[in-house]
Chain A
Amino acid sequence: MEFKDYYQTLGVAREATAEEIKKAFRKLARKYHPDVSKEANAEARMKDVNEAYAVLSDPEKRAAYDQLGRGRHAGEEFRPPPDWDAGFEFSGPGGFGGEGADFSDFFAELFGRQAGRGARFRARGEDHHAKILLDLEDAYRGGSRVVTLRVPRVDDEGRLTVTEHSLDVRIPKGVHEGQVIRLARQGSPGAGGGEPGDLYLEVHFNPHARYRVEGRDVYATLRVAPWEAALGATVRAALPDGEVDVRVPEGSQTGRKLRLKGRGIPAGQPGDLYLVLEVVLPPARTPKARELYQAMARELAFDPRHVPGAST
């Protein structure tokens, strides 16, 4: 296990005041805020910053960490000596609530011991949160995904350790982006015989080569020939749940949306599927093709810059 230099993570001196630590944390929390940050690995950096702040903002944890870390450097091999924390009493939460479940093994090794202390009362375990990446096809058909989570567990000696736990999750049909699915009793174990918490998984979709998703609605591009768009045609279109014959109305242009009601993500109120037309021109590579284009140019008197009703 590598030693983590929490002062270096926050960019503050070892003598920094509580106010300076708080200021540094806020500055970095803004810099690495995952929704808006342009920094590489913003999410991972935010976890490091949170962990460092959880220790350095707590006077008891900071004092213990300072004693242990004297003369040590970030990245050096490290094992805490037995009973290194003798004389310290960590009164705050174990650090595994909220964002704490993402904290490192280093943190768990140092501050995990308190978990077993005083847990003689009955209490429900904490709920856990994680994100799950699905394919759009999972939403149409349901499916299963193996999710690997870091789970804090209290061992027989009352010591908190972080273990990896894999769950094979059956995904209900009809999930869509931003929804949450719940797995009962898959969170932290309860204390004193209490019920375990639940696991909540926030659903996100992998980008798809053909489809774009907005809520329950699904969008796809349907490429058509100029004569199919101009004269109307019935064309075959691939959908996530199979193929369908679609009527392209006469006089269609690029950008026109054809709605297939109820063919989006299936649910109690299913979404719609939109086929966005893209008129694709045949290349004018052969003499025959060039002749046809020249005939149209000659005989149609068509000026695309002056079409009635068009904006440009």
Chain B
Amino acid sequence: MTTQEHDALLLDDALIGLNELAGNCNVTHEWIIEHVRAGVLLDAADPDPSRWSFTSRDLLRARYLCTIERRFDANPELAGLVADLVEELERLRVRLRREGLELD
């Protein structure tokens, strides 16, 4: 076992582009473009994909969409709906914790 010290870079300070996102999610560029154009990824997109930049949230969402589509053969819209619901669930969980409450 080895231990080395490494600086971690906050992703939102160094946004990633189409190439990196596609490589990271193990999908093609076309997959990313299809999902952005379907409105399930990246809120406000420039018409030119080479100018897109993705945040932490986009990265996690893209990976989540991939998982749902692969596991359930879902189409982008259905996977997008599941991702929306899970994000809403998480938002409500955070709100409950803020009020000192927890879901059972």
Which A residues lie at the B interface, using CB under 8 A?
A: 25-26, 29-30, 35-36, 97-99, 124, 126-127, 129, 144, 146, 148, 164-172, 174-175, 177-184, 186, 197-198, 200-202, 207, 212-215, 219, 221
Residues of A within 8 A of B71 (CB): 25-26, 29
For A146, list chain B residues within 8 Å (CB): 3
For the complex, give the distance between the alpha carbons of A212 and B13 in Å: 24
What is the CA–CA distance of A148 and B4 in the complex, to the nearest angstrom?
11
A183 touches B6 (CB 8 A): yes
Question: CB-CB < 8 A to B6: which residues of A?
Answer: 167-170, 183, 186
Categorize the interface residue count of chain B: 35 or more
Inter-chain pairs besides A168-B5, A170-B5, A177-B94, 15 sampled, C-beta below 8 Å: A26-B71, A98-B66, A98-B70, A126-B26, A168-B3, A170-B7, A172-B7, A179-B12, A180-B56, A181-B8, A183-B6, A183-B9, A200-B24, A202-B60, A207-B97
- Flag if B4 contacts A167 (CB, 8 Å): yes
Cα A166 to Cα B4 with chains together (Å)? 7
The A-contacting residues of B in range 37-73, CB under 8 angstroms, are 56-57, 59-60, 63, 66-67, 70-72
Q: Kindly state the separation between the CA atoms of A181 and B12 in the bound complex, as whole angstroms.
A: 8
Interface centre among B8, B24, B63 (most CB of A within 10 A): B8
Contacts of B8 in A (CB 8 A): 169-172, 181-183, 201
- Let me know if B81 is at the binding interface, CB within 8 A: no
Question: Separation in Å of the B47 CB from the closest CB of chain A?
Answer: 26
